[in-house]
Amino acid sequence: MAEERQEQEDNLMKSDSSEAAGPPASVPKTLPDAAPQKDRTTQMAEFIDKWLGNSATRGVLRRLTKRCPKCGRRTENALLAYATGKSTDMCLGCRFSRFLMSKALDSMIARTDISREMAKQHLADPMWRKGLASVLEGIAKYGPAKPFTAYAPFLVVWNISRLCNLKCRHCYEFADKPRPDELNTEQALAAVDKMADAGVAYIAVSGGEPLMRTDFFEVARRIHEKDMAFSIATNGTLLTKENVQKLKELNCIYVQVSVNGATPATHNWFRGVNAFEKTMQGIKNAVKHDLTVGISMTVTSHNYKEVPAAIELSERLGAQFFMHYNFIPTGRGKNIQELDITPQQRENLLKLLASQNSRRKIKLLSTAPQYSRVCIESHAATIAMTHFDYASPEMTESIRFLADFIGGCGTGRLYCALEPNGDIESCVFIPIRLGNIKTDDFLGVWHNNDVLKKLRDRSAFKANCGVCEFRNVCGGCRARAYAMLGDVQACDPGCVRNQESWGRLVKNV
């Protein structure tokens, strides 16, 4: 088996290996070694450390961001007033907070390339506003720690049902039939209300196949009404014209469709049935209705060589994003663990994405947190900030310092997950129950759970993940550490910097 694994270290991207190894000529070198940028990012990081890390400032911030019994979420209201210039009905304390917060925001914005108008535009969007409110409240509670923990999860990925019309080999959720204890409509709506009260900015609805739930649109409507952003992760087979029209009406910000190969044979091999054509039609329907579409591809040795063709296919279909999904051997995926790609193959794949990102129409993302390290090491024009976004070449200079705070694996810091029965987990790929949204205080779990505390303490991570200079921007995939080594603080054996652990695992298979 060890030899087989070694053999797998073929060169997927042979034709791409030269560009993957260093900065392509056409890509501007904007990352770490350009002095003016370094100065700016260092300055900004120092400003945050000194200004926000200071206990007196944090004391003031705690008072300013305290939730008000009369007016609700004080920070969010102050940011709304900043964005719109309109004073809502606020108590004296909230008006005072608003005044000081606008001064502080002006001073912060002046240190970046972002104009005041652009900042206001962003803050007029509820997702940004709620996100920044959580950041400010998080700094008040935890300080500007690296990595940073938000006061409320910015994003919750909600596996809304285990019900699915397919039965994919790699499914982390064992999707098939619904669980007997799944939240009913009333409980699901109550869960939305609880997340809104906590300050969640964005709910990504997943499954199973979310569109199989007959009350899906009722729940989605409630998310929309509560001013939270929502997206859907789907196998695409039910993206009928009617369904995409409804998604559009509810302002769904992102439709993620999983496609596991560039050819029907490969895709259907994962899906277990003939689903390729329906999925393609679903993507076309969503693109036609002007929805933002991303193609996600869980990469194993079975489809590794098709990645470049799958990127081309995604581009031809009109998707805006292609996202490499890191294979996590959990759920049904445990049964195909031997198909995991090697660390070197993952590295080659990430280099390919990093080198092509700024030159393609389509944006290339990865859920492998090592993507940030690879972007930095290969002097790519962009830098991956989280799974879901990266800083574009224009923005990289002014906000690169942020990668140190928010970068890499977001589990338990910026993001958590909800199971169909309401169980709270840190990540959809980490099946450890932390509480239940029906019965527990959602924010209480977020602030106090011991597993989450472990996930936030990167200095306690094992092997290279604990000492690596890219720890802040990466942190390793905690789900892979847990699935393969049984410890959320173990190293991520999928990284080339943890070859030793990978070697031991391979020997034991």
Q: Report in angstroms the alpha-carbon separations of 434 from 7, 142, 418, 437.
A: 40, 20, 10, 10
Name the one range near Zn ion by CB under 5 A: 61-69, 115-123, 255-263, 342-350: 61-69
Closest distance between Zn ion and the C-beta of residue 199, in Å? 16
Q: What tokens does 251 get?
A: 């302002």
**Residue for token pair 């001013």:** 227
468 belongs to the binding site for ligand SF4 (CB under 6 A):
yes
489 binds, among ligand SF4, Zn ion, none (CB under 5 to 8 A by kind): none
Terminal Cα-to-Cα distance of the chain (whole angstroms): 7
367 binds, among Zn ion, ligand SF4, none (CB under 5 to 8 A by kind): ligand SF4
Closest distance between Zn ion and the C-beta of residue 60, in Å? 17
- Among the listed residues 58, 170, 224, 471, the single contact to ligand SF4 using CB under 6 A: 471
Cα separation of 254 and 376, whole Å? Answer: 27
Closest distance between ligand SF4 and the C-beta of residue 282, in Å? 24
91 belongs to the binding site for Zn ion (CB under 5 A):
yes
Cβ atoms of residues 65 and 57 within 8 Å = no
94 belongs to the binding site for Zn ion (CB under 5 A):
yes
Closest distance between Zn ion and the C-beta of residue 72, in Å? 8
Between residue 37 and residue 96, which ones bind ligand SF4 under the rule CB under 6 A? none
366 belongs to the binding site for ligand SF4 (CB under 6 A):
no
Closest distance between ligand SF4 and the C-beta of residue 21, in Å? 18
373 binds, among ligand SF4, Zn ion, none (CB under 5 to 8 A by kind): ligand SF4
Cβ atoms of residues 325 and 297 within 8 Å = yes
Closest distance between Zn ion and the C-beta of residue 78, in Å? 10
Please enumerate in sequence order all residues whose Cβ is within 8 A of that of 109, keeping only pairs 6 or more positions apart, or say none. Answer: 115, 116, 119
Q: Which of 424, 498, 479, 375 is nearest to 153 (CA)?
A: 424
156 bridge partner residues? 203, 416
420 bridge partner residues? none
Please enumerate in sequence order all residues whose Cβ is within 8 A of that of 281, keeping only pairs 6 or more positions apart, or say none. Answer: 239
Between residue 372 and residue 401, which ones bind ligand SF4 under the rule CB under 6 A? 373, 387
- Among the listed residues 27, 119, 275, 409, the single contact to ligand SF4 using CB under 6 A: 409
Q: Which of 150, 133, 132 is nearest to 141 (CA)?
A: 150
Closest distance between Zn ion and the C-beta of residue 102, in Å? 16
Site string for ligand SF4, 424-463 (x = CB under 6 A): ---x-xx---------------------------------
Q: What tokens does 349 get?
A: 């794949």
For β-strands 293-299 and 254-258, DSSP reports them as: parallel
Q: Report in angstroms the alpha-carbon separations of 352 from 37, 302, 359, 366, 481.
A: 25, 18, 12, 11, 24
411 belongs to the binding site for ligand SF4 (CB under 6 A):
yes
Please enumerate in sequence order all residues whose Cβ is within 8 A of that of 474, keeping only pairs 6 or more positions apart, or say none. Answer: 369, 370, 372, 373, 407, 408, 409, 468, 495
Name the one range near ligand SF4 by CB under 6 A: 114-122, 227-235, 404-412, 431-439: 404-412
- Among the listed residues 13, 20, 44, 71, the single contact to Zn ion using CB under 5 A: 71
Residue type, 233: A
- Among the listed residues 140, 297, 376, 495, the single contact to ligand SF4 using CB under 6 A: 495
Mark 154-165 as b/e (b = at least 16 C-beta within 10 Å): bbbbbbbbbbbb
Please enumerate in sequence order all residues whose Cβ is within 8 A of that of 181, keeping only pairs 6 or more positions apart, or say none. Answer: 420, 421
Closest distance between ligand SF4 and the C-beta of residue 483, in Å? 9
Cβ atoms of residues 286 and 312 within 8 Å = no
Residues that bind ligand SF4 (rule: CB under 6 A) add up to a total of 27
- Among the listed residues 370, 378, 396, 501, the single contact to ligand SF4 using CB under 6 A: 370
130 belongs to the binding site for ligand SF4 (CB under 6 A):
no
Closest distance between Zn ion and the C-beta of residue 103, in Å? 18
Please enumerate in sequence order all residues whose Cβ is within 8 A of that of 374, keeping only pairs 6 or more positions apart, or say none. Answer: 347, 350, 351, 353, 354, 380
380 binds, among Zn ion, ligand SF4, none (CB under 5 to 8 A by kind): none
Specify the DSSP element, H or E, that contains 205. Answer: strand 202-206
Residue whose CB is less far from Zn ion, 45 or 68: 68
Cα separation of 369 and 423, whole Å? Answer: 25
Residues that bind Zn ion (rule: CB under 5 A) add up to a total of 5
Q: Which of 474, 437, 365 is nearest to 159 (CA)?
A: 437
- Among the listed residues 470, 483, 484, 489, the single contact to ligand SF4 using CB under 6 A: 470
70 belongs to the binding site for Zn ion (CB under 5 A):
yes
- Among the listed residues 77, 206, 296, 498, the single contact to ligand SF4 using CB under 6 A: 498
68 binds, among ligand SF4, Zn ion, none (CB under 5 to 8 A by kind): Zn ion
Residue whose CB is less far from ligand SF4, 175 or 477: 477
Between residue 219 and residue 278, which ones bind ligand SF4 under the rule CB under 6 A? none
* Footprint of ligand SF4 (CB under 6 A): 367, 369-370, 373, 387, 409-411, 427, 429-430, 464-465, 468, 470-471, 474-479, 491-492, 495, 497-498
* Footprint of Zn ion (CB under 5 A): 68, 70-71, 91, 94
